[in-house]
Structure 1
Amino acid sequence: MSKIRLFLNIVLITSLFIPNKGYALGDFFQEQLDMVNAVIKDQFQRVEEAVNTKYDEAVKVQTKVKDYIEEQQKKISDDVNNYVDKVKENGRYLIDTWSFMPTDDPASRLENPDLVLSVPSIITRNGYNCETHTVLSEGFLLNVHRIPRSKHGREIPKKTVLLQHGLFASSADWILNGPEKSLGYVLADAGYDVWMTNIRGNKYSKEHAWLKENTKEYWNFSWNEVALFDIPAVIDYIRKVKGEDAKIAYIGHSMGTTILFTMLSLRPEYNEKLSVGLALAPEVFISNMKSPIKSLASVTSHIAHTEMVYGAHEFLPKKSFLGQMNKMCEAQQMDSYVCDNVIFYICGADDEQFNRTLLPFFLSNLGTGTSWKTALHMSQLVMSEKFQQFDYGYADRNQRIYGSDTPPEYDLSKVTLNVTLFWAQNDLLSNEKDVMKLHEKLPSSTLYLVPFPKFNHIDYLWAKDAPRLVNDKVLEILDEAMKPKVRDLFFPFRF
């Protein structure tokens, strides 16, 4: 009521100052009403225009989101269809591979106690001393298995070799072919102090000082972190045990070679801490691989994203299909022949060098733990055709980490270590073109073609004729690299 009184008083006072005596009070009210209506109409039009503008913008955003979703769905669909087509295309090779049936009797295969023993227990059972050394790196407790001397030796030799396994593997790779054939034993008998690593996350290096295994933070690594932190920590540990002047030879297989070249490009000071490098089946440039798993590269990012969204950060753990292959491929079952040939299908068929009795042992140590980030990083090498750091998929995130929209390539010109690249014509994962590309980019490298046409990616580990085809050459290279320099012969003392 007070507001109405105030309005009437204003009207009354205003009317006292109206110069025209004939100006009717009704006209005044009408004029005021028209003015208010005009203001209200103007405000309504402005609000209506603003609402229409926002609505149009919302429709545009909705359209963009819809188009983006359709684009991503189409991309995923195309990637999956391409993968299916590739599998169909390679189907005849799978059939050809599975058609191979061996002549030996499965019933003759005896149960192998090595299937349930740890690497140190197997080494000890074969008459060698074995030590386990634990190295701390970024909280991971890395267990390194060491054969310090030959079976009959008493003194620990000064000559030292570091063996680095590949993807899905462990230190078991270097002993699975038994004494006289596996490099772990062969090198020990040849007078070398042998150290066999286990990368973070595998079954021998699962422990972490503060992170739990089922967390995202635990599995947030690829081989980049292994090369940047873990292997340098192991090398420094060995030098602390052996002496700062100890020179260490590095032998890597498959992803073990990826780790070597990554480490030497990111930490070039380690070129001087190693005496020589041997890369068995190098995995650096891998876009030309012939293995059917290449067709998985295009869908790995989608699968990895889905898996990680649901909290699965470990890639193919023991409970997975691959991790359970050893249980499905027991030595007493005919199915093991299929398992043999699935490996041939992926790595290259070589029934002549394949020791089938090793299959259960090999499979029991397969899938020992790695991260989805590692698998995704590998697929990026296939798709990019470059040897580059991990691509986070977003320009702004790459900018925060690398200072560029795309991940930088590893600088192979910094790898000054003398490296021998071992390659084989039937290796479906380490293709000749890719090996030659690596050879051209390295400042100091030599090539060694394994003299057996059917030799494949994993024959380095279990070939029947490994001593003749690989080990003899390895020993020749190491012996040459470990020879004292002329300077050291004439000036053995340091001043």
Structure 2
Amino acid sequence: MSLKIALVFVILLFFSFLSAENSSGSYLNQSVIADANLPTIKIIRRHGYAAEFHKFQSEDGYILGYQRIPYGKTSTTSKKQYPVILNHGLLSSSVDWIVNGPQKSLAYRLADEGFDVWLANARGTTDSKAHIVLKPAQKKFWNFTFHEMGKYDVPAAINYILNVTNKDKVIHISHSQGTSIFYVFATTRPEMSDKVLVHLSFGPVTMIPHTKSLFKVFVSWMKRIQLSGEWYRIGSFLEYSPAIASISKFICGQNRSPYNLCEQLINLIGGRDDEQFQKEVVLFMLDNLPSGTSTKNMVHSSQLMTADEFAEFDYGRSMNLKIYGRSIPPKYDFQQIRIPVRLYYGNNDLIANPTDTQILYQKLPKPAGCVLVPYKKWNHVDFLWAKDVNPLFNDEVLQFLHNATMNEDFLENLVEASIKDRAKYFFVFILILFFLKPEIIRRYGYPAESHIIQTEDGYLLSYHRIPHGKFDTASKNPYPIILHHGLLSCSADWIINGPEKSLAYRLADEGYDVWLANSRGSTESKAHVSLIPSQREFWNFSFHEMGKYDVPGAINYILDLTNKNKVIHIGHSQGNTVFYVFAVERPEMSNKVLLHISLAPTAMIPHTTTIFRNFLPLAKKMQATGEWFKKGPVMEYSPAVALLGKLVCSRLIFNFNLCEQLFIFRITGRDDEQFHTDLFTIMLTKMPAGTSTKNMIHSGQLISPGHFDQFDYGEEQNLIIYNQATPPHYDFSRIRIPIRFYHGDNDIIANPLDTQLLYQKLPKPMGCIRIPFEKWNHVDFLWAKDVNQLFNEDLLQFLRNVTEDKQFVKIATLKALEERRKAPVPVDIPFDEEAYKASQGSGSVNETVVPTYLQEMIENRLWHMA
């Protein structure tokens, strides 16, 4: 229940922030006090407009209350052919559309343009809290989500309005969840399409897995409410209460509490925009908001944050089977939409992320444009409350509606042109889709889910799940499997080689419940409960924190969700480094991991010959000066850079051999026979996925001979932080989990000698397997053409033995210990730095000198590419 209290507190602070006092001399400052305690209809009349209140019944018996502005301030009748419906967002009400005053609010602007304007109030809100049989005190009253609002309320509103006005079509405009409601209507009631001229979506919300809003923190709690059925017992959620309004005002009153706390909350929920946000514009909104909804609607809304399909309410597998006759809820079929739809979105909208908006736009059968508001800080609420809402947004909307209503062929021609224009950017859409890994997974016929996991230190991690194989309905094996990617990469590593060769798919088809990790700071795990990526503090981590906090958070979340008692963990490259930190730092969790499998293990790599070794002097300089903190992120994903990399390395554009040499072979090891050209060009569209500069430096410190240590801050800072001149070693003797190694002879990152030396330190070894192909390099585990024969089959057989025989892990560990005892002990040969430098052509071994070309590359490319 603590999470529930926290969620309520966050929402209250969000709305209370909107009420904080401000001394600006705007129109609203002069009138807002008078408006504060008035019903919406009286506020409209006080602003000089005609206003009516209408009640009508939905098909399932709810009584909905809509305000109407039938014409403009200086008119006596509407001049336009089509009434306009304005539908608000979650926990809000019709007041959204008038709060910015008569000069800026869209409702008034539309009325003055001659439209007959109808302001919706969603069922369960203050003005629509009635039913012909049920009472709000009854739990059954609150058994609805935006699904019922779209399926029953919108049709009832349209029919009522057309009957009252004697018109044949309406224009529908919505914001935030108002758009979700419309898409349900358009997909479930296509027979009513001829009654809607066009729909305009502001900050559209359907599937929003890329949302960065603070609300995403509460997804796991909502998941528990969903699975337990508690949503029904709770009933309503945040119904309007004068007492709550008073408490919120007290908390965030300008002179009563730290104002920045409230300001931070609004920024974390909807996106920061100090220039456009008017603190005074909604001074009276606490007298109207939050307006309430059902807990079930809140849960359904949270499901949109982890889903890559727009679907009906997910009751959980067993209830879904009873209600839908299938284990997962039905998807809303966008192909059923017959209404032209125009999208408006902002680059700084944390709720309706631009990526999700673009993906939605590609699904629309009748697109009428996808318009980016021309202001880089435009956030989720700027559509309603921005200072410059007229020049930045309203004027464009009004011009569009003028064209749509004055020219019969305008919409038809626009849809045709939009479809053609959209096709031109299909390649860009494919790049976007590639980041939506569950979409790719489903394309190959596998089930897929997205999950948000909160770590102990507040980071929000995105994990993708393949719960079972293509032809199954549930996992058959008792152990979920976590796959953890390497440095600067992401979960796509495990699916990029297609359904026949990618390890994630092969494991799913073996009956495993597969979870694909995304490290903190990578493209899909770039969120925190209180920090934002633009803050340097966000990037103050390395693989140490990933192991100490992220792995435990993921394991506990997965075991809790799946009701299992152990996981199997598989890592590649730095995914292993992260795991070793976990195993050393959190030995109390060893009983939750059956075993770990290391592909190309990296912990101590003094013999590495990768080109990354050339960055060691720069890393040491940044370590000594503390510059890593000022830099923050490194090599964050940039669509522009990804596209440039793909074009430059295309055989049609440039010499592909140069890219092979620079980006693959000099980094990972040369393997022409197994190198997959097509996969490489695809990977360039999503890599690098980014990390912290501190993590890059810590990774470079692994090259220092003989030690696997915590981050080295330099002697002076080490004494302050660790109370010793050198960083503490990670103590391998604390590892209680069996570990199996796989390595390649031609891996120039995880050098075979380093792998053998590391293997000697494992308390519970389960074998150190050399891939039987002499050119096998660092990335062949993921991309090799013959990965099945050379690697996957051995791994899968090993896991079959593990799951079929409960004693196998114990016996295999004892056998490996005996084999290691009998085998010759590998000799740690000092690395020949002189020979390496000569082979690289640098001509210098002075590690205090940072090569100029490397310095320029770092400064001009790595930190400034986004």
Counterpart of 2:213 (choices 279, 291, 294) is 291
Q: 1:252 corresponds to which residue?
A: 174
Query: Cα 1:116–1:443, aligned 2, differ >3 Å: closer, same or farther?
Result: same
How far apart, CA to CA, are the structure 2 residues paired with 1:336 and 1:151?
A: 38
Determine if contact 2:126/2:239 at 8 Å carries over to the other structure. Answer: no
Tell me which residue corresponds to 1:123: 44
Matched letter for residue 306 of structure 2:
M
- Cα distance, 1:326–1:236 mapped onto 2, change above 3 Å: farther
CA deviation after TM superposition for structure 1 residue 105, in Å: 5.1
Residue 329 of structure 2 corresponds to residue 429 of structure 1: no
Counterpart secondary structure, 1:359: coil
Partner residue of 2:398 out of 475, 486, 490: 475
Q: 1:339 to 1:103 in 2, by over 3 A?
A: closer
1:358 is paired with a residue whose SS is: coil
More deviation, 450-459/380-389: 380-389
Query: Do the aligned partners of 2:126 and 2:240 also contact (CA within 8 Å) in 1?
Result: no
User: In structure 2, what residue type is equivalent to 1:290?
Assistant: K
Tell me whether 1:354 sits opposite 2:277 in the alignment: yes
Q: Which moved more, 1:219-228 or 1:262-271?
A: 262-271
The answer to whether the aligner puts 1:135 opposite 2:56 as a matched pair is yes
Which amino acid is the alignment partner of residue 114 of structure 1? Answer: D
Structure 1: how far apart are the matches of 2:70 and 2:326? 46
Q: Higher mean Cα deviation, 441-450 or 325-334?
A: 325-334
- Partner AA of 2:339 in structure 1: L
2:305 to 375, 382, 388: 382
Deviation (angstroms), 1:292: 2.2
Under a length normalisation based on structure 1, what TM-score does the superposition of the two structures give? 0.73
Cα distance in 2 between the residues matched to 1:113 and 1:172: 15
Residue 189 of structure 1 aligns to which amino acid in structure 2? D
Whole-Å Cα distance in 1 between the matches of residues 329 and 66 of structure 2? 31
Q: Bigger CA drift: 295-304 or 130-139? A: 295-304
Aligned length: 390
Q: Secondary structure at the match of 1:429?
A: coil
Q: Supply the RMSD in Å over aligned alpha carbons.
A: 2.9
Q: TM-score, normalised by structure 2?
A: 0.43
Going from structure 1 to structure 2, the CA distance change for 1:103 and 1:351 (only over 3 Å counts) comes to farther
Distance 1:309 1:207, change over 3 A: closer
Q: Shift of the alpha carbon at 1:103? A: 12
Structure 1 runs of 4+ with >4 Å offset: 102-111, 303-307, 319-324, 330-337
Is 1:114 aligned to 2:39, yes or no?
A: no
2:101 alignment counterpart:
178
SS at match of 1:112: helix
Aligned equivalents of 2:253, 2:321: Cα separation in 1: 50
CA deviation map 1:344-368 (0-9, x unaligned): 2211111100111123223332210
Aligned to 1:403: 325
In structure 1, list runs of 5 or more residues that go unmatched. Answer: 1-75, 85-93, 488-495
- Equivalent-residue separation in structure 1 for 2:370 and 2:192 (angstroms): 22
Q: Does 2:77 match 1:155?
A: yes
1: CA distance between counterparts of 2:161 and 2:217?
40
Q: Is the 8 A contact 1:120 1:145 kept in 2?
A: yes
1:420–1:447 Cα change, 3 Å = same
Aligned to 2:108, what secondary structure does the other structure show?
helix
Q: Report the CA distance between 1:242 and its aligned residue.
A: 1.7
* Alpha carbons 2:199, 2:342 under 8 Å: kept: yes
Residues 21, 253 of structure 2: 8 Å contact kept: no
Report the Cα distance in structure 1 between the residues aligned to 2:187 and 2:231, rounded to whole angstroms: 33
CA distance in 1, matches of 2:254, 2:331: 44
What does 1:213-362 correspond to in 2, within 5 Å? Answer: 213-243=136-166, 245-303=167-225, 308=230, 311-319=233-241, 324-326=247-249, 328-330=251-253, 338-362=261-285
User: CA separation in 2, counterparts of 1:382 and 1:335?
Assistant: 30
Measure, in 1, the Cα distance between the counterparts of 2:21 and 2:287.
24
1:8-45 Cα deviation digits (max 9, x unpaired): xxxxxxxxxxxxxxxxxxxxxxxxxxxxxxxxxxxxxx
Distance in 1 of aligned mates of 2:240 and 2:216: 23
Q: Structure 1 residues 405, 311: closer, same or farther in 2, change over 3 A?
A: closer
Quote how far apart the aligned CAs of 1:107 are. Answer: 12
Distance in structure 2 (CA, Å) of the matches to 1:292 and 1:427: 12
Q: By how many angstroms is 1:406 displaced? A: 1.1
Q: Structure 1 residue 272: deviation in Å?
A: 1.3
Larger Rg: 1
Alignment check: 8 A CA contact 1:340 1:359 kept:
no
* 3-state SS in 2 of match to 1:356: coil
Which letter maps to 1:284?
T
- Tell me the secondary structure at the aligned position of residue 141 of structure 1: strand
Q: Could you say which residue in structure 2 is the equivalent of 1:145?
A: 67
Closer, same or farther: CA 400–365 of 1 in aligned 2, 3 Å = same
Tell me if the contact between 2:66 and 2:118 (Cα under 8 Å) persists in the aligned partners. yes
| Mapped contact 1:159–1:191 kept (Cα < 8 A) | no
Q: Which has the higher contact order (CA 8 A, sep 6+)?
A: 1
Structure 1: which amino acid aligns with 2:221?
A: V
User: Is residue 109 of structure 2 the alignment partner of residue 205 of structure 1?
Assistant: no
- SS of 2:348's equivalent? coil
Q: CA offset at residue 339 of structure 1?
A: 2.6
Helix, strand or coil at the partner of 2:400: helix
Which secondary structure does the structure 2 equivalent of 1:447 belong to?
A: strand
CA offsets 1:42-74 (integer angstroms, 9 cap, x no match): xxxxxxxxxxxxxxxxxxxxxxxxxxxxxxxxx
Q: What letter matches 2:188 in structure 1? A: L
Structure 2 residue ranges without an equivalent (≥5): 7-12, 411-866
Distance 1:479 1:370, change over 3 A: same
Give 1:330 deviation, angstroms.
4.3
Quote how far apart the aligned CAs of 1:128 are: 0.4
